[in-house]
A and B are shown apart, each in its own frame.
Chain A
Amino acid sequence: MKIAALFSGGKDSTFAVYLAREHGHEISCLISIFSENPESYMFHTPSISKVKKQAETANIPLIIQKTKGEKETELKDLTSAIQKAKSNYEIDGVITGTMESAYQSSRIQKICDILDLDCFNPLWQKDQFEILKNLIENNFEIIITGVYAFPLDETWLGRTIDKTFLEDVKMLYDTYKINPAGEGGEFETFVLNCPLFTSALEICDKKIYGKKNSWTMEIEIK
């Protein structure tokens, strides 16, 4: 099947694209939404402008859609981006990296239904630690670009998702119930390399800002 992927550049949407390819589907294009609202319920915002570099190294066309990020207009903007993917690439379906959010999932399902497209959510309900393990096993190189919950602080920024990271978030999960996969918005991630990419991305500059338990690392890619 020809599929368009809702793509934020983070680990979940990238892993979903990887799984679709592994199962023989063609990823016709990536769709990235640039939200002006940092509190958006639908879209992850940090490092999103870097998805252009990811799409380039993955050799997949990218559809960019800007939105003001107000609740209803962002759905309209998402619909028109998916409609564009349907007209330009004749896709049969859409794939997302949604794991738990009924809010995100139900809205995307409704849009796909209106546009007569199938909807794939291969990470739906998946165990969060299992996802991190799968990413490590499949040689994904992922860094933390944002932390937004107690007791996370700026020391987590730039960390790689590896076995030590997995052990540390297990400890946090046992003590504070911090969602280890970060879908609750606790962590933001960026994929620097994975089996979909023809070459690894390199960080050439970074800026860190934030306070208390809310920190962001803006990165520049070579």
Chain B
Amino acid sequence: MILLINICKIPFHYFEFVKPIEEILKKLNIKFITIQYDKLTSEIFLKADKVIISGTSLKDNSFLDDVDRFNWIKEFDKPVLGICGGMHILGLIYNGKLMEVQEIGLVTIYFDEEFFGLNGKLEVYELHNLFVESSEFDVIAKSKKCPQVIKHKHRLIYGVLFHPEVRNKKLIEHFAKC
């Protein structure tokens, strides 16, 4: 079972940032459960085989005040994928720092190696005012402005700054099936 963590504080953002991920998992017939990040209990995440953390809108960033709620990930030994705001969280729990860079819309990024079915030069959909840097992660892909894909040096923890549910659904499909 995949645990999909919804980081939208304003529930109406679910339709834009969480539902498209659910639709990809539904098409693959993969079991998942969606939980709001502040309602998550250890009972739920202990049952998960994998975790996906969603993004949310540019303004809806109160999850950043609650990053401590995600410390359980450090003890979780299964794959975790953070998307945009989800990536910020993963970087921050591993002593990362947020920096300001805005990318909105279609942007070309460059991969150094294959990452869940994506490689080379690729057009992706971006929606962020921040990015995260942490020395505990390797950078797998970059845009001209900042790191786009990171992978933890020793753990199965991955972050993508762009929104794969928009133009690069293959990434989520590969992650869900890996």
Contacts and interface: CB of A to CB of B under 8 A. Distances in A.
Contacts of B13: 120
Contacts of A211: none
29 contacts: A1-B12, A20-B12, A23-B11, A25-B12, A93-B59, A102-B105, A102-B166, A106-B104, A106-B106, A107-B105, A109-B104, A109-B105, A110-B104, A117-B59, A118-B58, A118-B60, A119-B57, A119-B59, A120-B13, A120-B57, A121-B16, A122-B12, A123-B15, A124-B15, A124-B166, A125-B20, A125-B23, A126-B15, A127-B23
A171 interface: no
Contacts of A124: 15-16, 20, 166
B158 to A, nearest CB: 21
B131 to A, nearest CB: 16
Interface string A92-135: 01000000001101110110110011111111111100000000
Which size class do A's interface residues fall under?
Answer: 20 to 34
A118 B15 contact: no
A20 to B, nearest CB: 7
A contacts with B: majority SS: mixed
A107 B127 CA distance: 11
A118 B58 CA distance: 7
B15 A19 contact: yes
Given A102-B125, A109-B58, A122-B12, 11 more contacts: A20-B12, A106-B127, A109-B105, A110-B105, A121-B15, A121-B16, A122-B15, A122-B16, A123-B15, A124-B16, A125-B16
A23 B58 contact: no
A26 to B, nearest CB: 12
B10 interface: yes
A118 B105 contact: no
Contacts of A125: 16, 19-20, 23, 165-166
A118 B10 contact: yes
Interface string A25-55: 1000000000000000000000000000000
